[in-house]
Chains A and B, each alone.
Chain A
Amino acid sequence: MMRGSSRSKSTQNLDRTVCMTNCPTLIVTVGLPARGKTYISKKLTRYLNWIGVPTREFNVGQYRRECVKIYKSFEFFRPDNEEGLKIRQQCASAALNDVRQYLADEGGQVAVFDATNTTRERRQTITAFAEQNGFKVFFVESVCEDPVVIAENIVQVKLGSPDYMNCNTEEAMEDFKKRIECYENSYETLDEVWDRHLSYIKIIDVGRRYLVNQVQDHIQSRIVYYLMNIHITPRSIYLCRHGESDLNVKGCIGGDSGLSPRGREFAKYLGKFIESQDISDLKVWTSQMKRTIQTAEAVSVPYEQWKALNEIDAGVCEEMMYEEIQQHYPLEFALRDQDKYRYRYPKGESYEDLVQRLEPVIMELERQENVLVICHQAVMRCLLAYFLDKTAEELPYLKCPLHTVLKLTPVAYGCKVESIFLNVDAVNTHRDRPENVNIHRTTEDALQTVPAHL
């Protein structure tokens, strides 16, 4: 799979990182308030960054809040409020300016311009701006008339907004509804005829229907595929590692060993825990390695095996202890500490490779509802980084201890995380970045952060 331009400076790989797109892309949201534009913007941004495409969102509402310190009422948004209009236009311009800087000067590849953009006039301005700067434009319009969905949106994300800090629920609801009305009269939806030369996807009723027009390139095609796979049905994703394995106990990485006695106990507790959660229609996924399969066996629910969930391949370092890696491959060991995300074990993989390998798993996770994923340390770090929007720098150091289940529940614009330790002891397999990552460091410095083992 092609990789985004991660601007990698790793020298040991003679790869060339590849741009997903030749020119930067400006994604422009379109839609009335409370149609999920910001939800989509944030989620899409998170996904694109995770797969290696530098992306940033620019929320015009944020700019407006910085400009007009205190929000009074919906009157600000009235179409005949000239002063309000002026400020809003300035904010949009300021945001576009920052977009230009991000895409042209800061190495960004995709910018998401999150605003209502409900008039043709506004969209034409943006298109002209993009043309001027050599950016491709892709519109994402969300159309929804279901009052139940809209009310739910308002409750989830608007009531808690800084705009309504000093209002009670009813007041805020009322005001926001009037705000929406201010936009309704001038709303010009993307039109099949008038806008047939624009590239866009129209999402209707939270994904029941899509209209896709003039997809120009690979990244737009990926964006469309992603948007067509996400949903907002409430559900939870459970992530955990296999139970403690025999190789874990010895302090060895990789391999394909079975569970230790404590690992088997964890598997039993996991089964009980899952039962107690009383989850409807739970899907269970494992890798193809013994330790995850043995763990799933105790859960007593049919499970599916994904090769893509296999642990990171440590190549020549498979089944070695950190001490042995330091002994046999001190240079490699140091290089890994220097750039753990991009570093590829000789004849093995990097975290970056893992992310690519896991992309179909993420896509399927998006499509599914309640899922339990029983996987491995590096794999779980990658999945967690996707859900919690962690950077490539943070990803390889995320804490994913054995015998702990993470329950992720999407809420508002992010993910609520509950960490549940199932009370069966296990070795610690987490190795922090040591202070000294120089290739000439001493063995002592190299092994400074290695966790205890047999």
Chain B
Amino acid sequence: SGLMVSCVAVAQHVHTGDGQYPCRVSQVSQLAAALWLWAWYFLPFSSASVPQLTNSPTLIVMVGLPARGKTYISKKLTRYLNWIGFPTKVFNLGQYRRDAVQTYKNFEFFRQDNKEAMQIRKACASNALKDICIYFSKENGQVAVFDATNTTRERRVSIVSFAKEKGYKVFFVESICDDPDIIAQNITEVKVSSPDYVNCDKEEALADFLKRIECYKQTYVPLDDEKDRNLSYIKIFDVGSRYLVNRVQDHIQSRIVYYLMNIHVTPRSIYLTRHGESELNLLGRIGGDSGLSPRGHKYAASLGSFLKGQNIKDLKVWTSHMKRTIQTAEHLGVPYEQWKALNEIDAGVCEELTYEEIQEKHPEEFALRDQDKYRYRYPKGESYEDLVHRLEPVIMELERQENVLVVCHQAVMRCLLAYLLDKTSDELPYLKCPLHTVLRLTPVAYGCKMENIFLNVEAVNTHRERPVKQKGENGLKPSINVVNFLNLCLIPAIWGGGGGGGVACCHIVLS
């Protein structure tokens, strides 16, 4: 056990390449001629496969009266940022308050003159900021969303100095809305059922909450065009009919703005399904571009009937460029749009092989994939991580649209589902997306309601469970990892680089 690698080439931020975002590699010096291998647990690629586009963490600060959608935006934005690979976490001040003050009595807690409550609220804010610090410095967080009203200039000024001290960038997101209908709707959807109102009936809760809002209104100072002209922020008016954007500093803020400007709250449903069973599915082969099997055609016809029955208003139908999704959509008798981005994951050298053949021809690859299915990239193919980047424009357009049916593929559907249901990159590659089943996702409150509809046409099962991890006797990984390291050491130049030939980066991280 254990050869030593004296890897002179050590990169500080070691990331895999990903679809759209660059990965940073710092200075790499030449590898020593003699390599010693240290049999540690290697991930084929870095565990921190996150594009580090900005060196300093970003603190997003929500601003707005209660029931203006701050928590909705916080959670949605966090879900999106995590999905595209930026570790993000929400810090909801209301939660801190509920943990500190076990029972909520009524709106009086929020009165401006309630000194005792003010102390508690300030302490909570302080604790939240401390936790944000820990998240950034010890937990590899890149973005923290501070979800609170932050309605006074005084509070915002103290946050800005806190951030400045720590070297965090600050971006404010203010939600302004005076439409009483929208506010009432918000209160009904998410406030009335909050732990605060567990023992009240609907009317009591509504009345109390409205008084709570009044408490804040007196001291509310919105972000000001003049006074706050040096801050970076986006102001969202009336649930997105208007935006004011000031001083976007960097790439991630620009992405955040773009995202926020594309989301909406109009009720709608997203239907996700795979193509009907294909010829290659029947043969147990992955990838390829085959047509539908007879059962696949049957499913497509059933899908058509199902949709008619649902009576969906203005349904958009999207497919990939591959025959099996197109053939499925053809049965629906409605116009559909093809997206290359929806094509199935490219299995590279393993295209059209059965799992048995992969095990036979590429056993190391097969093992590596099981070790880190999310980041593993098929030779000459793609990884789930690549897929996510490829699918980002699809997600953005899904956000803009209303009722949409997406006819896609297993890996693609897993990625989309992970986004909509906030699944981690660890869970993503094992989400269950069986053939001949439609998933209907309807945004509700802070999340997504999911209905699983099997259309009663039999199909093969293409789901491969996560295998049980094998560990060597002394807790170290078996020697196959040594082989893997050599296999995956990117550059033959390490062995054959000629005079002066610089060695390119090694994508390794020791976990």
Contact = CB atoms under 8 A, between A and B. Distances in A.
Interface in A1-60: 1-2, 14-16, 18
B395 to A, nearest CB: 11
A304 interface: yes
Contact of B386 (A14, A298, A307, A364): A307
Given A1-B393, A15-B321, A221-B261, A228 B254 contact: yes
Contact of A302 (B21, B24, B502): B24
B254 A305 contact: no
A217 B400 CA distance: 8
A107 to B, nearest CB: 19
A218 B400 contact: yes
Given A221-B400, A258-B493, A308-B19, A290 B504 contact: yes
A298 B21 CA distance: 23
B2 interface: no
Interface string B261-279: 1100000000000000000
A1 B339 contact: yes
Contact of A225 (B258, B386, B492, B501): B258
A339 interface: no
B497 A258 contact: yes
B261 A215 contact: yes
A224 B257 CA distance: 10
B317 interface: no
Contact of A356 (B340, B490, B498): B340
B448 interface: no
B17 A211 contact: no
A72 interface: no
B14 to A, nearest CB: 11
B501 to A, nearest CB: 6
Contact of A297 (B20, B244, B490, B504): B504
A164 B18 CA distance: 51
A228 to B, nearest CB: 7
Contacts of B502: 267, 294, 297-298
B22 A285 contact: yes
A215 B241 CA distance: 7
A268 B18 CA distance: 28
Contacts of B23: 304-305
A196 interface: yes
Interface in B339-397: 339-341, 386, 389, 393-394, 397
B193 interface: no
Contacts of A305: 17, 22-23, 25
B61 interface: no
B199 interface: no
B241 A213 contact: yes
A218 B397 contact: yes
Contacts of A214: 241-242
The A contact surface, by secondary structure, is mixed
B467 interface: no
B245 A210 contact: yes
A208 B261 CA distance: 18
A192 B235 CA distance: 14
B386 A15 contact: no
Contacts, number: 130
A195 to B, nearest CB: 11
A189 interface: no
A259 B491 CA distance: 12
What class of interface size applies to chain A in its complex with B? 35 or more
B224 to A, nearest CB: 12
B225 to A, nearest CB: 8
A367 B24 CA distance: 17
Given A225-B258, A307-B386, A15 B338 contact: yes
Interface in B187-239: 225, 229
Contact of A209 (B17, B27, B246, B503): B246
Interface in B245-259: 245-248, 251, 254, 257-258
B348 to A, nearest CB: 11
A2 B337 contact: yes
Contacts of A303: 25
B340 A353 contact: yes
Contact of A294 (B21, B393, B493): B493
Given A211-B242, A212-B245, A221-B400, A306 B498 contact: no
Residue in B20, B386, B491 with the greatest tally of chain A CB atoms within 10 Å: B20
A297 B17 contact: no
Given A208-B247, A218-B400, A293 B504 contact: yes
B185 to A, nearest CB: 21
B140 interface: no
Interface in B23-39: 23-28
A288 B385 CA distance: 15
Interface in A206-257: 208-215, 217-218, 221, 224-225, 228-229
A1 B22 CA distance: 19
Interface in A255-310: 258-259, 261, 264, 267-268, 285, 288, 290, 293-294, 297-298, 300, 302-308
A434 interface: no
Contact of B262 (A211, A221, A364): A221
Contacts of B135: none
Contact of B251 (A2, A290, A356, A364): A364
A360 interface: yes
B500 interface: yes
Contacts of B241: 196, 213-214
Contacts of B25: 302-305
B501 A228 contact: no
A213 B504 CA distance: 48
Contacts of A268: 500
B24 A304 contact: yes
A297 B28 contact: yes
B401 to A, nearest CB: 9
Contact of B244 (A209, A298, A306, A364): A209
Most chain B beta carbons < 10 A, residue from A288, A298, A302, A305: A305
A361 B326 CA distance: 30
Contacts of B258: 221, 225, 228
A308 B22 CA distance: 8
Contacts of B225: 209
A290 B491 contact: yes
B253 to A, nearest CB: 10
A308 B245 CA distance: 29
A161 to B, nearest CB: 32
B245 A209 contact: yes
Interface string A307-319: 1100000000000
B485 interface: no
Interface string A148-162: 000000000000000
Nearest to B389: A307
A210 B493 contact: no
B505 interface: yes
Given A2-B337, A209-B246, A290-B493, A367 B254 contact: yes
Most buried by B among A213, A217, A297: A297
A300 B26 CA distance: 10
A294 B504 CA distance: 6
A68 B394 CA distance: 49
Contact of B18 (A285, A302, A307): A307
A208 B505 CA distance: 38
Contacts of B491: 258, 290, 293
Given A304-B22, A304-B25, A364-B22, 10 more contacts: A208-B246, A210-B246, A213-B243, A229-B254, A259-B501, A268-B500, A305-B23, A307-B17, A308-B19, A353-B340
25 contacts: A1-B394, A2-B339, A2-B397, A15-B340, A16-B338, A196-B242, A208-B229, A210-B243, A210-B245, A212-B242, A215-B261, A229-B254, A258-B491, A258-B493, A290-B491, A290-B493, A293-B505, A294-B502, A297-B28, A302-B26, A304-B23, A304-B24, A305-B23, A361-B20, A364-B251
**Which 5 interchain pairs have the tightest Cβ spacing?**
A297-B502, A304-B22, A293-B504, A288-B17, A360-B20
